[in-house]
Amino acid sequence: MIDLARAGALSALLLLASCASSGLDDPVPLSDSLSRRARVLGKSFGSAVALGALFNDERPELSRRYREVVASQFDLIVPESEMKMAAMWKGPDDIDFSRVDRIADWAVANGLRMRGHVLVWHRSLPAWLVEGRGRGAYANDDVAAMVEWYIRRVMGHFKERYPGLISAWDVANEAIGPNDPRSGGPFGLRPPGSDYRGEGQDFWRLCLGDDYVERAFRWARSADPEAKLFYNDYHDEYGNPKGDAIFDFVSGMLDRGTPVDGIGLQCHVSVAYLDMAFPGIDFSLRSVGETIERWTGLGLEVQVTEADVGMGAGEGRRQAGLFSGLVAAALAERGASAFVTWGFTDAVSWREAERPLYFDRSLNPKESYYAMLDALEALEEGRGGLRP
């Protein structure tokens, strides 16, 4: 089994190590700040960060610039991989917090808050757990007790050591099937084989049952009664049958008294989506706003949690239009509390080939950065508006 978290951390290191350094001789001064502008609206602006980029002894100047951008532009960060189960859970009684604690210490020192990402996700499974269950070392009830322990221990660690640092926890991630959810498992849960990597897609269903998401939320609530508990997923930010399935799924959980406080809309999109037309899919900024309003109507808080916008050659302006449109559409909504992107520089991105972020590989701002600042300024001045 591939340790995705480890692979992610490693690729961040390699990408940062290999990225062009020319711009660093002449880094563009950053006189404005995304989070400072967002704060005027009562919102947060954040990014995923990778430990290997935050502290990279081999490229200290790049690493310094990386930290400078994070500290000046954001008030909220999320560890891209270091807080995932496969990265931290080393054995039945062994959780290794050392890597994520380095990020948390730095966040505290710089006055940033953190999202907790993620407690239960089918793509970050400790190999020893999956193999142990396969050999019959753990029965399903054992796995349930172990996961409950893991959630209690992880949330307890941050509550005690970093009080107030974690503003929201992604309790469960991507539980709903990616394609036609209503033809999947009960509630549209991810069916076997639905994961594009074919890994572990139904492990949690097998071990914990079809109500595994609900169980995870209840465990999380009892681990930290004050924590904000989020369900996080992708391709549900706009009009899409998957969004409807997630809405029904979470509504059902709320009806049964499950302690869900918020919805994370990942928002991994591409400029190319603007040119596509699929029946039943409405990829428009208006539908992003409507999606958020629908969740707000259920009393839930909404955050954009992982935004990135894939682009092709020469599409910088269109990327800027889409990024700023998403910021405007989301943060115009009363119920949306944060806009978080999945990294900020094209040098450190899981979709690196698509250059989906708003600082270039030399860590200088792209057009998309300035367009998002403009969108925030427009919201501030009450001009708001949806830009295509």
CA distance 174 to 194: 11
Q: Does residue 167 touch ligand XIL according to CB under 6 A?
A: no
Q: Of the ranges 4-12, 90-98, 161-169, 286-294, which one interacts with ligand XIL (CB under 6 A)?
A: 4-12
What is the smallest separation between the CB atom of 287 and ligand XIL, expressed in angstroms?
21
Q: How far is the CB of 13 from ligand XIL (least distance, A)?
A: 11
Torsion sign, CA atoms 174, 178, 180, 183: negative
Give the HSE-up count for residue 108: Cα atoms under 13 Å, Cβ half-sphere. Answer: 12
- CA–CA separation, 327 vs 311, rounded Å? 17
Q: How far is the CB of 245 from ligand XIL (least distance, A)?
A: 18
Does residue 237 bind ligand XIL (CB under 6 A)? no
List b or e across 155-170, with b for residues whose CB sees 16 or more CB atoms inside 10 angstroms: bebbbeebeebbbbbb
Among 82, 237, 306, 352, binds ligand XIL (CB under 6 A): 306
How far, in Å, CA of 255 to CA of 227, rounded? 20
Q: Nearer to ligand XIL by C-beta: 224 or 306?
A: 306
Quick one: which segment of 1-9, 59-67, 358-366, 367-375 binds ligand XIL (CB under 6 A)?
1-9
Q: How far is the CB of 81 from ligand XIL (least distance, A)?
A: 5
Selected from 266, 337, 341, 362, the binder of ligand XIL by CB under 6 A is 266
Per-residue exposure over 75-103, b if at least 16 CB sit within 10 Å of its own CB, e if not: bbbbbbbbbbbbbbbeeeeeeebebbeeb
Per CB under 6 A, contacts with ligand XIL among 324-363 are: 350
By CB under 6 A, residue 307 contacts ligand XIL: no
Nearest approach, Cβ of residue 380 and ligand XIL (Å): 30
Q: How far is the CB of 212 from ligand XIL (least distance, A)?
A: 17
Which residue of 4, 86, 300, 309 would you call a contact of ligand XIL, by CB under 6 A?
Answer: 4
Q: Which stretch binds ligand XIL (CB under 6 A): 2-10, 39-47, 148-156, 185-193?
A: 2-10
Geometric angle at alpha carbon 370, from 368 and 372, rounded to 5°:
70
Min separation Cβ 163 and ligand XIL, Å: 25
- Provide, rounded to whole angstroms, the least separation between the CB of residue 382 and ligand XIL: 34
What are φ and ψ of residue 117, in 5° steps?
A: -135, 110
Q: Is 173 in the site for ligand XIL (CB under 6 A)?
A: yes
What minimum distance in Å lies between the beta carbon of 214 and ligand XIL?
A: 20
The residue type at 42: G
Identify which of residues 6 and 36 has a Cβ nearer to ligand XIL in the complex.
Answer: 6
- Interface positions, 63-82, toward ligand XIL (CB under 6 A): 80-81
Instruction: Give CA–CA dist 331/43, Å, rounded.
Output: 7
The span of 3-11, 67-75, 292-300, 332-340 binding ligand XIL (CB under 6 A) equals 3-11
The residue with its CB nearest to ligand XIL is 8
What DSSP element (H or E) covers 265?
strand 262-265
Cα distances (Å, whole numbers) of residue 299 to 45, 228, 262, 336: 22, 13, 9, 12
Of 247, 270, 229, whose CA–CA distance to 119 is shortest? 229
List the beta bridge partners of residue 229.
169
Binding residues for ligand XIL, rule CB under 6 A, total: 9
Cβ–Cβ < 8 Å for 16, 53: yes
**Peptide bond preceding 118: is omega within 30 degrees of 0, i.e. cis?**
yes
Minimum distance from residue 4 beta carbon to ligand XIL (Å): 4
What contacts 8, CB < 8 A, 6 or more positions away? 50, 80, 81, 350
Selected binder of ligand XIL within 1, 7, 137, 298 (CB under 6 A): 7
**CA angle 124–74–286, rounded 5-degree value:** 80
Asked if 8 is part of the footprint of ligand XIL (rule: CB under 6 A), the reply reads: yes
Give contact residues for ligand XIL (rule: CB under 6 A). Answer: 4, 7-8, 80-81, 173, 266, 306, 350
